[in-house]
Structure 1
Amino acid sequence: MAPDKPGPSSAKYRGPVMLRRDRKTESSTADQRLLDQRGPSDWVHTDPWRVLRIQSEFVEGFGALAEVPAAVTVFGSARTAVDSAEYVIGRELGAGLAKAGFAVITGGGPGVMEAANRGASESGGFSIGLGIELPFEQGLNEWVDLGINFRYFFARKTMFVKYSQAFVCLPGGFGTLDELFEALTLVQTRKVTRFPIVLFGSEYWAGLIDWIRGTLLTSGKISAPDLDLIHVTDSVDEAVRIVVAAQHGPDEAEKLGTEDKW
């Protein structure tokens, strides 16, 4: 025989949370715990308190970036040397995007991120860095005009997507791949629209592209149109034109590409 349906008296409420039967409940109310005399400080490390920290990161990020002009995020390795060809390309790309009227957003670190911020700053553009608290990386690079440091990756990712019109990925590691596939998933599922994703460096990305075509597509894990979400190039001019075309249309992209070389 089915047990009797529990009555109203079996339910207890903790704000919007309902607890039934013998689930653990606290003996005091939220107001009492707030107004009572000081007790142990463990509460600042509990999950409910972390929610406030997370909320504060969103509030700070939205507030700081709300009036930023149209922007493009450039990803790439923090380990790229200043005297490398990839660093030079990063500077050229940052400058090209700035001259095309875009703010440049990076993760704010060294390597490719510094290069893109530097190129944008040197060209008079708006250079933005969204840093992350890590145990082994330094702070924001010196070419960042507006910088925000985040504790949480997911809050930082939201800012990248919300305030960018495109992603350009230069050669990078796990972090770059993480952001790349995050963007691909959002575009594929139409959570964001008109969002070009550019991979810079055909030789570097060739193995990944071959795997996507040869494994994901052939096994039916993605559809043929999904391949069109990715643009691969070795040209700064072309990368900028792809972004401009998505934002302003192909005619404006061609005009910009022929009149302004960077």
Structure 2
Amino acid sequence: MPYSRVFERGIHVVTTTEVFAQPVAELGLALALNLLRGIIDADFDFREGREKWGGDGNAGARLLFGADVGIVGYGGIGRALHHLLVPFRPQLRIFDPWIPPSHIIDAGAEPADLATVMQNSDVVFVLAGVTSENQKFLGAESFASMRKGAAFILLSRADVVDFDAMVDAVHSGHIRAASDVFPEEPMPSDHPVRRRPGFIRSAHRAGALRSAFLKMGDFVLEDLSLLDQNLPPLRCKRAERETVERLQSRPVEVN
């Protein structure tokens, strides 16, 4: 997209990606609960006849209610996830260098630097988009700084993490993790992430709901109606000249 040219001509560049905020946030919440309570592993154990009953089946289990929770990236998905987390009354810390601290405080959370979020959270949700400055900004050192047994949930793009370092941190038993995105999609059949215990894998399906795709059309039609009245688009997210050329997310080939 030749952004400078279209901006010079007063042309809006918009996207319907906000339709994915609620579906992705809901899956993120589900992944967190699964990691904290070991639901999937307990189900597999039951199928194989090796289930543990009662308290014996809760070794390492934690509550989300009242937990220390960190969010990295407070865009549309981050805000949607925040709303879902409110009933759990977490101590919520948010890192987003593109958001003013007062905006986070007004939303009822605590602005924090990245190190504080990583070191002081029972659950970390990563929702940051890929930019020209932040590729692989979460690496082995970041994972090592997390609390032992903490849950790390990746929902935005795999390029923001050192993916192999994340898998290694899970393999060591230091953290548990879940990811909806991967550096290759599909991943190679022999990649260790396919067999790693303590890792929940979701095949980039968090937002790919029929309801979200239909909502895209609603957004476009509503904004076209506004444009017919010489009003600016409101439902679709507008590309901002200050940031759009810094965004580096690779396109998704399968929906």
> Structure 1-normalised TM-score?
0.37
Bigger Cα Rg: 1
Q: Answer 1 or 2: which has greater helix percent.
A: 1
> Structure 2-normalised TM-score?
0.38
